[in-house]
Structure formats: structure tokens, C-alpha cells
Amino acid sequence: MPLKVEILRREPTGNVVMLEGSLDSNTYQQFEKATEPLMTSGTSLIVLDLAKLSYVSSAGLRVIFRIWKNAAAAKYKFGMVNLQPQVKTVFDIMQALPKEGVFSSLEELDTYLDLIQKQEAGKQKKAT
């Protein structure tokens, strides 16, 4: 089964990566190629929307982990939304779901980001 990768810009500098199909040994390079530029683009956020991802193998997991690992160094936030049961099982086995960063929907993610933004604004106000 092929993989479809679509990247949606999210204001102001975030990106939502929508995956559809199968992320496996045969398709992981396509995903890697599509997301590599994002990690060095000064993005503030990379979110993987997995609503239509029906299958993930360890080859796909490795790319996801790479994006996640890079988040601290490149100063972007990383999250995942809409994990389907068969995909979530794989993450569960790996004990690899981020404690803050897995959302059931994009709306829930927005609420979380609004909260973070308010906290940041509060900190800046205090500093000045």
C-alpha cells in the first residue's frame, strides 16, 4: 500500500504533516524526504496527523523518532494527533508515546497550543 504525505502550513510558522496509507520499509524514505526540510526551516511546530495512517513498521517509527529527537535542538514543538488503534499499539509496545504531545484531534491540539501561547505571553510580560 502506498504512502501519501501532505504538508499543511499552520499559522504562524507551524506545519501539520498528514500521512495516509502505510509507513513501512518501502515508503519511509518518501516520508523522510518530505519532512527533512521542515526540521531545518525554523518551524515552531511539527504535528503528525495520523488519522489515515493504517500501518506503521519500525522503519517508519525510526523517522518519526528522528523528527521528535530533533525537536529540542531545532527548538520546535512535536506532537501527534488521531492515532489509529493499530498504530497506537506499536507505539505502546515501544513505550514511546510522548507524555505531552499526543492529541485525539486537531481541535485538542489547538487548545493545548493556545494554553502554551498564553503561558509564554505571561512569562514575557513578567520579564518586562
Task: By CB under 8 A, name the binding residues for other proteins.
Answer: 1-2, 22, 24-26, 55, 57-59, 61-62, 65-66, 68-69, 71-72, 78, 86, 89-90, 93-98
Check: CB of residue 39 under 8 Å from CB of residue 67. Answer: yes
Phi and psi at residue 112, in whole multiples of 5°? -65, -45
Q: Which is nearer to other proteins, 93 or 127 (CB)?
A: 93
Q: Which is nearer to other proteins, 9 or 84 (CB)?
A: 84
The nearest distance, CB 44 to other proteins, in angstroms, is 17
CB of 41 to other proteins, least distance (A): 20
Least distance to other proteins, CB of residue 35, Å: 15
Is-contact 58 30, C-beta < 8 A?
no
Shortest Å, Cβ 84 to other proteins: 10
Of residues 68 and 112, the one with the C-beta less far from other proteins: 68
Q: Is the dihedral of CA 111, 19, 10, 80 positive or negative?
A: positive
Q: Which is nearer to other proteins, 101 or 126 (CB)?
A: 101
Query: Residue 46: in which H helix or E strand, if any?
Result: strand 45-56
